[in-house]
Chains A and B, each alone.
Chain A
Amino acid sequence: MKAHLLYRDADFDVKSPDPPGAADLEQDLELGYLLDAMADGDSFTGTVARTAMLHPLLSPEAVRYRQEALEDCARNRDFVARLYELTERALDAERGGLFFLLSNGRPEYLLRRAVGVLRNLLPIIDELRQVAEAGSALFRSVAFLGFFATIRTELDDAAFQGLRSAVRRLELRGGLLMSASLAPGGAVEGQVLRLPRDENRRLLSRTAMKRPSFSFTIPDRDEAGFDALAALQDRSVNDVANAASQSLDHVRAFFASLRAELAFYLGCIRLGDRLSAIGVPLTMPAPEVVEATGRRAVGLVDPCLALRAGRLPVGNDVHPGARRLLVVTGANHGGKSTFLRSLGVGQLMMQAGMFVPAREFADLCVGAIFTHWAREEDEELLHGKLDEELARMGIIIDAIRPGDLLLSNESFSSTNESEGSEIALQVVQALLHSRVEVRLVTHLYSLAAALQALGTDHVAFLRAPRRTEAGHSYRLEEGPPLPTSWGIDLFDERFGTHLGSSPPPPGADG
């Protein structure tokens, strides 16, 4: 019995390990802002959202499955919120969780705890049955309708009665009946708890067993005897305590996975509210491209920047079409990094089944997404910066596959332009040759110029405007690279110098 609200045929595992490069991806795309908005203070939702985003869906069908479910949720917000609240109650059914820690793993404690919690869960399970009845009329998506149908079949009246009866028997009100054998040392062993046979019940006897029977009673003051009896009982309920605890685990796991899957959709709804409030346009993206238009984004913004700044950033349009390489050049602080992030985040959101912060967005589903950012500071001073960059690229190359996407931001800028360009050119050409999608921001003119030679059928170029030309607008324009990147402008601005207006003195470098 699975909820399967996120994948049609697979479980969503909140704890699935990060794919390679996930930590860099999260850091470089500044996903934290987005995840925080989805979590809205609930760290569990934050974790769910993070896991969902870091494990992109790989097919248009999988994306549509979630998109429909998300639209369903948006239409039935209150219903979904109530269902989520029910799962939280189910997971809270074990009050006084510390009690478990004090149990020292004693089977009797384990059993009593499991039975107590299962007893509390029975009414919540019953409530879930009613919710499934009601929901079937309200929802339209394959995901939710399938879920409700599962509940109605798996938890029909007969099954529910079975749960009730099992819980009652676990309460062991009539004492412990067990079969046993003898250990080599003479002790009771091989205990199996049993249900008494009706035909062995007799008038005036509380113990329904065959005859002859022999009894003894622990004397009132025999403390050691009571301890010994308790130890015997512990050993005897070991298997049943295990069965009960595992049963409880099954129920909890069911509600936990349901809760995680609902948390994702509720997080998306919260994020949508936040972005809409700022004025960010949201669109359900097309997870595949039409021949005529190809890949395209219209008014694409970086949602993380929007959330951080609390205002609508300048959107960008880009139409790479069929081209697998996009190169962004131009002035520093020209919005290149932000644009690269918006491409990455947009792709991730689309492949998580979410809306995308754009007026229009269509792209192919890529495989894994990797980022290679020039790092501001070298954390490990023992390594040279270029060494560190190469090492990181090496790790990516170890993991990247055809159909994946690499976002490269000023890679190999830690060495001189000629070396950096040569390394980067070889990397990029090798990746393209291996059918990896590449989105590249660089101020390495030699690199950009060399990539131009690949021809406009293969490379799309965008250019950040010089600040003096476009004011504070960060809108990128299509256009080939220009041989300077105006870092001097920034310097001049900050220092009040005029280095940019006169040629650099001979021998000066960078």
Chain B
Amino acid sequence: MLGVEGRQVTAEFRSILFPPGFDRVIPVTTDDALHDLALDQIVDRLVARAGRPDTAQVDLGSVFRSPLGVEREVLYRQAVFVALESPTVRAIAADFSEVLRTSGAYEASASASHDGHQRTRLHLTAVQRYVSAVLKLAEELPAALHAAGAGSEALFGLLDHVQQLTASADFQRLQTESAQLEVQWRAVRYNVWIRGSRVTVAPFDDEPDLSAEVEEAFARFRQGATRDYRVQYREADFDHVQGWVLEKVAHLFPDLFAALESFMAESASFVDPTVARFSHELRFYLTYLDYLQPLRSVGLATCYPVVSAMSKVLHATATFDLALARTLVAKHFPVVPNDFTLRSAERILVISGPNQGGKSTAARTIGQLHHLAALGCPVPGSGVRIFLPDRVLTQFEREEQLDTLEGRLGSEVDRIHGLLEAATPRSVIILNEIFTSTALEDARVLTAEVLKRVSELDALCVCVTFIDELSRLNEKTVSMVSAIDPTDPAVRTFKVERRPADGRAYALALAGKHELTFAGIVHRLEQREARS
């Protein structure tokens, strides 16, 4: 399914998001559409975690907006996801990324420092973090990938790159020199005498400890446990007085400080750009997996969809709205999954039924499925087969400032026009309650017209509407109905089922609940007679 035949190392590995040789401009899904599909919150998380996109790095937000239209590209990412599903692989990758980030933070501090001695020391720390991160990755990743049975072209490409890197002479020199300098740094001991405004630095002479003497004298009074009065300090800010002390310490240890100086000169730019890029791109995967985690932990299924750039067949079992599920799970409410199918020539799902029954959620779910599948992500549900669209286009009711009906309708018509202009036969179109501000007859005619155009385009479409006859428009339309609980129609089931629309079923069920059906009323009358 992954389409990756074992280990396939390419010399040109650059990215875990795009396969070697990738060189295309991808159409970007609009922010409005992402918002309608409630996927904007995932983008927000990505951006928040990745930070401000830096010029050298890929903008992960835009990656999330750009569906891949090619099967091989989707499989490239799916394989990375599959590998990262292994807790070991994931921990190794996340750890690497974190350590590399701290290395970068140290190097940034070094650049910002005004103190020559401190600068060399911060640079040393930055190099050490980098070296240790790369070594650890090179050491741990192979076994973890094998143990996970991972077949990710991307990760094996990365591994090969990292192994070449660690074998290089430059890297090995970084490693040994930084380690030696660290040992010497830690061994530094000295005395400081502060008297008034005068500070004297001198060699340490193993003088007796004052605290120990005090503790011993007063220990006899001890009644029980005492509080710890020590202030928990973080490492001290390196202010100019600290700088002066360090300068005096440098006089006591001249060789060490000279060595730090030359080390910095020799290792000015030490980070390999490919591993830096890996660390950055990893966030795309981890953020998304983290988003799924609470859903999976309550037993909601996700799967790696079988994708096709050719077949428009849709099959999804027990799928759900990712964003809504997050909210429901957080509140410990149940999530109601739904099944969706579009066979051979079927293209348009027309969803009707009572309000609050989960119709919009169903529409959003189908839009999400297509977008996420085209990003190479695991999707909600199981056994998903899905078409790779060029884009998901949406038309949801807008909360607009326009007061007049004409204004609202005008703006809606404009947007639908734009949508149909942008749509291609490879698009997925989600229409949610369109033309609600017109008269029923107008809405029926207008919506039918839009659906006819969509049919002619042969695009995939979901149309949520209260006009159930639209579900019988042509051979491309399939009817789905938001279901009710026959025993208690007031309870929302959020279940959307594939069956012919019948506008009266809901009203009858509600009447039954209140025993106001024909039979109910007759029965109650009989009972009352029997009592009196």
Contacts and interface: CB of A to CB of B under 8 A. Distances in A.
B202 interface: yes
Contacts of B238: 185-187
Interface string A170-198: 10001111111111111111011111110
A165 B208 CA distance: 15
B201 A214 contact: yes
Contacts of A197: 205, 207
A1 interface: yes
A253 B219 CA distance: 12
Interface string B220-241: 1111101111110101111111
B216 to A, nearest CB: 8
Contacts of B249: 182
B229 A207 contact: no
A194 B236 CA distance: 21
B531 interface: no
A185 B218 contact: no
Contacts of A220: 197
B231 to A, nearest CB: 6
A243 B211 contact: yes
Contacts of A175: 193-196
A415 to B, nearest CB: 35
A91 to B, nearest CB: 13
B192 interface: yes
Given A250-B226, A254-B223, A233 B233 contact: no
B246 interface: yes
Nearest to A244: B214
B209 interface: yes
Given A176-B193, A187-B238, A189-B236, A216 B244 contact: yes
A168 to B, nearest CB: 11
B259 to A, nearest CB: 14
Contact of B235 (A183, A191, A214, A240): A183
A2 interface: yes
B211 A239 contact: yes
B330 interface: no
**B195, B228, B246 pick with most chain A CB within 10 angstroms:** B195
B204 A183 contact: no
A469 B209 CA distance: 83
B237 to A, nearest CB: 7
Given A155-B220, A215-B201, A246-B226, A177 B207 contact: yes
Contacts of A174: 195
A195 B174 CA distance: 42
A107 B231 contact: yes
Given A214-B251, A218-B241, A243-B214, A207 B195 contact: yes
B246 A186 contact: yes
Contacts of A194: 191, 207-210
Interface in A232-247: 232-236, 238-247
B405 interface: no
B208 A209 contact: no
Given A209-B203, A215-B201, A169 B214 contact: yes
Given A228-B242, A232-B242, A251 B218 contact: yes
B213 A169 contact: yes
Nearest to A191: B192
A238 B226 contact: no
B125 A232 contact: no
Interface in B50-76: none
Nearest to B250: A214
B297 to A, nearest CB: 36
B189 interface: yes
A166 interface: yes
A107 to B, nearest CB: 6
B191 to A, nearest CB: 5
Nearest to A164: B217
Contacts of A214: 200-202, 248, 251-252
B235 to A, nearest CB: 5
A257 B221 CA distance: 11
Interface string B111-127: 00001011001100100
A217 B197 contact: yes
B245 interface: yes
A158 B199 CA distance: 36
A224 interface: yes
Nearest to B221: A250
Contacts of A178: 191-194
B258 to A, nearest CB: 16
Nearest to B253: A182
A243 B215 contact: yes
Nearest to B118: A186
Given A209-B200, A212-B202, A166 B223 contact: no
Contacts of B117: 186
A99 interface: no
B190 interface: yes
13 contacts: A163-B217, A166-B218, A181-B186, A191-B192, A212-B203, A235-B231, A238-B231, A243-B211, A244-B214, A245-B229, A246-B226, A248-B218, A253-B224
Given A155-B220, A248-B218, 19 more contacts: A1-B222, A2-B223, A166-B214, A169-B213, A177-B192, A179-B192, A188-B242, A189-B236, A195-B213, A210-B202, A215-B201, A224-B239, A235-B231, A236-B194, A242-B211, A243-B210, A249-B226, A256-B223, A257-B223
